[in-house]
Structure 1
Amino acid sequence: MLNNLINTQDFAQLLLKIKQVGLSRIIRQLFGYRSSNRSEKWERVESPAIHWWDIPAVHRRWNTLITGNPDVDYYQYIAQKFFADRHDLNGLSIACGTGHRELKWISLLDLESVDAFDISPQRILYAQQKANSLGLDNVIKYRVGDVSKISYPKNRYDVVFAEQSLHHLSPLREIFTKIRNTLKPDGLLIVNEYVGPNRFQWGERQKEIADALLNIIPPVYRRIYKSNGIKKQIYRPGKLTMWMNDKSEAVESSQIVPLLKEMFEVLEMKEYGGTILHPLFRNIAHNFLQDDESTRNILELCFLVEDYALKTEQIKSDFLIAICQNK
């Protein structure tokens, strides 16, 4: 309908969202009762387990794809490979959210200081309180700010962290230019990102595979969060719905990799899929948190299907890790 500007599933998803988060929050997002619906969306510091990244087995899968070891995550891998001999580092984190990633990096790297920015005052307060409780207030400073508008000092940082943030930012070329300028000559940019279709406009083959896989899964595992309904098809959101819900969501996501390759030297890039699993598990991930045989078997099937589709180039990876430096 109108190049998927809006579709019939949008209305069903709106009703579901009202059940999940309440009508008042939906009204605020739709009609802009706050100064920025992007800030409103990111006020929450806790979220229900409705996404693929909430599934423990998925994390082990990521580790295997990125590091080759299900028990070694990308933080450990990058720290050991790229930072073993780097000391007294100054770091910058853009769109840091609740700050848990920065705390992980501080535990692994010799960071003298970290400047972390996010648009949400609530998340910054939460992050700073957590850092203070750990005695890290002298190392990390969380600040409220729109990272696309901040002026960063030239040649200031040894490492810049961009983790699940770039796909919310625009214009990307300007932001990458700022990152290049603020990195020291030997500084590194660490990227962990969604790089799939803009505005989650899933490709036809991607949706076809995900729909087929969804309908193999037993109905008990397809129960929708806070609903009596059963998930029956993959939702490709209308572009207008995406814009109204969060203007920043996947705004230039498909341009991240091309711009990284154009503007930086990519030292290493590790893809970890998500092309099928991300839309597949949306709103049903809470059914896959247990480590029982039935759950493991279903997850293993899903993993194998995505692996095969990636290997045979029917789809491209929607998520990746990249370590970059200035050219």
Structure 2
Amino acid sequence: MSEEYDSKIVAEHWSMADCSASDRNFYCFPAIRNRSCRLIFGETDASRKDWCEYWTIEKYLKPLVPVGRCLSICCGFGEVERTLARLGAAERITGIDIAPGAIEQARVRADREGFHNIEYRVCDVNKEELPEAEYDLIWANGALHHIRDIELVVGRLSRALKPGGLLVSNEYVGPDYQQLSVRQQEIINAVKHLLPRELRTPLTGPPDAPGPSLGAKVKDLLGRVVNSYKLRDDVVYEKLWDMPSVAWFRKTDPSECVRSSAIVPVLKEHFAEVDVRYFNGSIIFYALDQAFYQNYDPGSAAHRRLLEMIFALEEHYVACGEFQQDNAHIICRKVQ
């Protein structure tokens, strides 16, 4: 495993970053989650904010709920556990996370909403053991792509489940640290050029990403300034998206997508029953930024047609084998 993985950076980062605070991302944006819901569950109604948890229960857990005990790993600020409690998924729910600040807030929010059947504690699943055959359900919402020691941790999760228990995982399963092929980067940039100006930022990518040289950094900064003031009307084609480097991930959050490409293979090694439902994202996950999420108008026929066209492009490149699907909803059952 990487010697540069610093768990203190991870704990500090996720003590501040609340992913549940906004729906302006690939996983939660209404115009995209309708498609994700269809691809995962075969359902078209993703109007509920808790659409993923709701349909998971409806499709996989309905005869079993409420289960006795549920464990939620990498729980962050606790939105998933409160959602599961609202849906009556389990009699007792335990949420664990490496980030003390997130756990503190999760406790406050659960208490505020009167959920006394939820407990939270600080835990690094890369290092701590879990009780064996303790849980009927383990929920890993966007969790496994933050796990460095994926083989070790998935083994622990499997042992922690009771026979017949389920592991639910909704994940980014693309390349480690989102290091994409040149071809995929090329198409992502081409798609950004398809977007009208109101739906794209001039150049997206981490502004403080380490460059190969000081000269490259200066050139990139000047390019951003020029682009932002739209002074280059004569430019036919320019770079609109810059792939974050491995060094940038290790600096900001070394857990992000640290072993994401290994998730599905490792789950299949530890569980006899693994149901993988891919919901793509090989272009859209990267090409759409906050300008799109803020300015997209669902009432605009032009905006809707554009998004459908990009969906079709994703499906084309996956179907012809050039791209893999970078996101998946996974249900694993412990049969022994």
TM-score range, shorter chain: 0.7 to 0.9
Shift of 1:222: 1.2
Contact 2:146 2:256 in 1 (8 A): yes
Equivalence for 2:8 = 36
Q: Does 1:106 align with 2:85?
A: yes
Describe the superposition over 1:85-125 as per-residue Cα deviations: whole angstroms up to 9, x where unpaired.
21442000110011111222223344111110112222212
Q: Distance in 1 between matches of 2:127 and 2:282?
A: 31
Describe the superposition over 1:34-55 as per-residue Cα deviations: whole angstroms up to 9, x where unpaired.
x821122112236677643353
Describe the superposition over 1:118-166 as per-residue Cα deviations: whole angstroms up to 9, x where unpaired.
12222212222221122112x1101122122222111000010111111
Shift of 1:185: 0.9
1:52 aligned to which of 26, 41, 50: 26
TM-score by length of 1: 0.82
Describe the superposition over 1:174-208 as per-residue Cα deviations: whole angstroms up to 9, x where unpaired.
00111011100111100100010001101223222
Q: Report matched runs for 1:216-255 at 5 Å.
A: 216-223=194-201, 229=228, 232-255=239-262
Q: Which amino acid aligns with 2:42?
A: G
Contact 1:167 1:249 in 2 (8 A): yes
Q: CA RMSD in A?
A: 2.5
Equivalence for 1:167 = 145
Q: Distance in 1 between matches of 2:184 and 2:315?
A: 13
TM-score by length of 2: 0.80
Q: Distance in 2 between matches of 1:286 and 1:74?
A: 20
Residues 267 and 49 of structure 1: CA distance in aligned 2, closer, same or farther (over 3 Å): closer
Runs of 5+ in structure 1 lacking a partner? Answer: 1-31
Q: Which amino acid aligns with 1:325?
A: R
What SS class does the counterpart of residue 53 from structure 1 fall into? coil
Equivalence for 2:219 = none
Q: Report matched runs for 1:176-215 at 5 Å.
A: 176-215=154-193
Q: Distance in 2 between matches of 1:284 and 1:235?
A: 16
Q: Distance in 1 between matches of 2:245 and 2:269?
A: 31
Equivalence for 1:323 = 331
Q: Identity rate of aligned residues, in percent?
A: 29
Q: Report matched runs for 1:294-305 at 5 Å.
A: 294-305=302-313
Aligned residues: 294
Shift of 1:319: 0.4
Residues 182 and 89 of structure 1: CA distance in aligned 2, closer, same or farther (over 3 Å): same
Q: Distance in 1 between matches of 2:12 and 2:293?
A: 24
Contact 2:267 2:274 in 1 (8 A): no
Runs of 5+ in structure 2 lacking a partner? Answer: 1-5, 208-223, 231-237
Equivalence for 1:6 = none
Equivalence for 1:307 = 315
Equivalence for 1:131 = 110
